[in-house]
Structure 1
Amino acid sequence: MQYNVNSAEEYLAELPEERKPVIEKLRQIILDNLPEGFQEEITYGMLNYVVPLETYPAGYHVNEGQALPFMALASQKNHIALYHMGIYAQKGLEEWFREEYAKQVPTKLDMGKSCIRFKNPKRIPYELIAELCQKITVDEYIKAYEAGRKRSGV
C-alpha cells in the first residue's frame, strides 16, 4: 500500500498498529547496517534507501531526476515487502541469500526479482536482513547498476 507522506516519521504514523513495531525494527536494522553513502527518503509512497543524486548525478534512468533506488521497505495489504535491487544486480548475492534464508527460516522463501515478502512477521530473519544490507557498498552498487544497463542496452 502506498501512503501519501513526506517523511519516514509520517510513513510510520500511517501504518496499522500491528505493523508498526515490525516496520520500525526493519527500518532501524536497515539504517544501522547500510554502508555509508545510502540515504533514506520517501519514494513511491514507501521507505526507500537510495544513492543520492549528489553521489550519482545520472540517477535512476527510468525517472529523470530521481535518485538511484537500492532498497525499499513497505507495508503491503497482505505482507511486509523488502525490496533489494542489489539481489539481482550483483551476481551470486541472490544465491547466497536463498541459501542463508533456508538455513534460518523453516518456511519457504516468498521472493520475486527483488521483492522479499514476509507474510508472517514472526518469521522475519532480522539478522539475515542486517547482513544483506552490508553486502554491497554504494560504489559496488553503482558499478553493478551500470553494468546491468550496458548488458540490457538501456
Structure 2
Amino acid sequence: MKIEARNPEEYVKKIPNERELGFSKLRQTILDNLPEGFEETMNYGMIGYVVPKSIYPSGYHCDPKLPLPFMSIASQKNFIAFYHSGIYADHEISKWFIEEFPKHSKYKLDMGKSCVRFKKPEHIPFELIGELVKKISVEDWVKLYENRISNK
C-alpha cells in the first residue's frame, strides 16, 4: 500500500482512520527524540529521517542525488512499519533492541533486518522507540554507514 504524499503532514492525513492516532504518536515520538542534524522528509514514498546533503554531501550510495537515509515510517497494507538502519548496521543496537522489546511489549517482536512491524497501533512500544531513536547521532550514523559501505 503506497500513500502518495508531497510531505509528512499530507501522508498522515491519508492514513486509514484506525491507524492515524498511533501513527501520529509514533511520528511525534521520533521527532521528540531525533538527534540534532537529522531531517524529516518524504523518502521512498514514506516519511523518512535522513542526513541532509548539507551535512553529508555524498548522499546515499545507491542514488547520490538523495540524502543519506536513516529511519522511515510507513502505513503498509497490514501493519505500521518502522525502519531503522541502525538495527541493521549495528549488531549491538540490534541485540539491545531485541532484548529490550519484551520489557516494553506483551506482543511478539515482528522484525526483519531493519523493519519492525506493528499489526495494531496499540502494540507500538513508544517509550522503547524513543530510546532507540536517541541511540545514534548523525555523526555516528555517517561513520557506521561509511564503514559498512567501504567493507562491501
Matching residue of 1:68: 68
1:53 maps to: 53
Q: Is the 8 A contact 2:101 2:109 kept in 1?
A: yes
List, as ranges, runs of 4+ consecutive aligned residues in structure 1 with deviation greater than 6 Å.
Answer: none
CA RMSD of aligned residues (A): 0.9
Q: Tell me how far apart the structure 2 counterparts of residues 43 and 88 of structure 1 sit (CA, whole Å).
A: 18
* Counterpart code for 2:44: Y
- Measured against aligned partners, the alpha-carbon deviations of 1:9-63 in whole angstroms (never above 9, x if no partner) come to 1101111111111111000010010100000001111100000000000100011
TM-score by length of 2: 0.97
* TM alignment of 1:1-154, pairs within 5 A: 1-152=1-152
CA distance in 2, matches of 1:55, 1:129: 25
Q: Give how far 1:64 is off.
A: 2.2
Q: Paired residues, what number?
A: 152
The answer to whether the 8 A contact 2:23-2:121 is kept is no
The farther-off stretch of 34-43 and 1-10 is 1-10
Give the AA of the match of 1:127: E
1:120 positional shift = 2.3
**Gap regions ≥5 residues in structure 1:** none
AA paired with 2:16? P
Residue 121 of structure 1 and its aligned partner are, at CA, apart by 1.9
Checking the alignment, whether the CA contact within 8 Å between 1:51 and 1:70 is kept in structure 2 is yes
Cα distance in 1 for partners of 2:91, 2:14 equals 36
Q: Helix, strand or coil: the match of 1:64? A: coil
When normalised by structure 1's length, the TM-score is 0.95
Identity of aligned residues (%): 53
Question: How far apart are residue 123 of structure 1 and its match?
Answer: 1.7
Take 1:99 and 1:9, find their aligned partners in 2: how far apart are those partners? 33
Cα displacement (A) at 1:82:
0.1
In the aligned structure 1, how far is the partner of 2:107 from the partner of 2:25? 21
Distance 2:70 2:101 in 1: 20
Other structure's SS at 1:58 match = coil
How many Å separate the matches in 1 of 2:38 and 2:15?
Answer: 24
User: Once the two structures are superposed, what CA deviation does each residue of 1:82-111 show, in whole Å capped at 9, x if it has no partner?
Assistant: 000011222300000000002221221100
**8 Å Cα contact 1:89-1:141 kept in structure 2:** no
